[in-house]
Amino acid sequence: MNDYVLEMNGITKIFPGVVALDDVTLKVKRGVIHALIGENGAGKSTLMKVLNGVYTQTSGSLVFEGNELELHGVKDAQEKGISTIFQEFNLINTLSVSENIFLGRFQGKGLIDWKAINASARSLLESLGFDFDVTKPVGRLSTAEKQLVEIAKALSYKAKVIVMDEPTSSLTKKRD
């Protein structure tokens, strides 16, 4: 069995007049935390945007769980098991914690089982060691709590790879 859940091989990304990535290879081992460190402008964010489907590489290949991977946007990446948590929040302040976590994934037709959705959201947050009201509008949460909602949302996709763009910079043990 391959130790790598993800391989980015020879990734090049060219924008008009700019080579943002030039033959970059990154291999991500299963069950291991990896970090990309580099100067501003080194291409870290561009590489992660290729991985989460925002950009398509000019050349090179993505291999995910041993299979060649072609991505058609962020939703496609999420459905295939790759979630990204951005430094900037991607939440709707007027919706509840639960609604933000499961937005766009309410199943079936007719009535929504809010009891089950709220229980799932609560369970995700408890797995992170936190307990706050999942029916509260996100706009009333602290910065740290909003970031936890983003992390819970990524976990809710049962992702095999979670990319974090400095999401924990706002987290503390103490509430805002």
Could you write out the three-class secondary structure of 72-125?
Answer: CCHHHHHHHCEEEECCCCCCCCCCEHHHHHHCCCCCCCCCCCHHHHHHHHHHHH
Section 150-174 average pLDDT: 78
Confirm whether 132 is domain-assigned.
yes
29 and 57 in a single domain? The answer is yes
Question: Which of 7 and 107 is assigned the larger pLDDT?
Answer: 7
Residues 71 and 110 in one domain: no
For position 62, what pLDDT does the model report? 97
The number of distinct structural domains making up the chain is 2
pLDDT reported for residue 158: 87
- Strands, sheet with 4-15, edge to edge from the N-terminal-most edge strand: 18-29, 4-15, 59-64, 67-69
Q: Establish if 13 belongs to a structural domain.
A: yes
| Residues 78-106, mean pLDDT to the nearest whole number | 89
Instruction: Assess whether 29 and 71 both reside in one domain.
Output: yes
Full-prediction pTM beyond 0.85?
no
Q: Is the predicted pLDDT of residue 174 greater than 60, yes or no? A: no
Same structural domain, 75 and 107:
no
Kindly state whether residue 25 falls inside one of the protein's structural domains.
yes
Q: What is the pLDDT of residues 39-87, one digit of tens each?
A: 988 999 899 999 999 999 999 999 999 999 999 998 899 989 999 887 7
Residue 1: pLDDT over 70: no
Query: With contact defined as beta carbons under 8 Å apart, do 135 and 96 qualify?
Result: yes
Residue 148 lies in a domain: yes
Side chain identity at residue 168, one-letter code? T
Query: Using CA atoms, how far apart are residues 20 and 14, in angstroms rounded to an integer?
Result: 6
Q: Which residues contact 137 (CB under 8 A, 6 or more apart)?
A: 93, 94, 95, 96
Residues spanned by the domain of 155: 97-159
**Looking at the domain assignment, is residue 166 inside a domain?**
no
For residues 45 and 109, membership in a common domain is answered with no
**pLDDT, position 167:** 61
The CATH number given to whatever domain includes residue 14 is 3.40.50.300
pLDDT at position 168: 59
Whether residue 30 lies inside any domain: the answer is yes
Q: How far is CA 110 from CA 98, 100, 107, 113, in A?
A: 18, 20, 9, 10
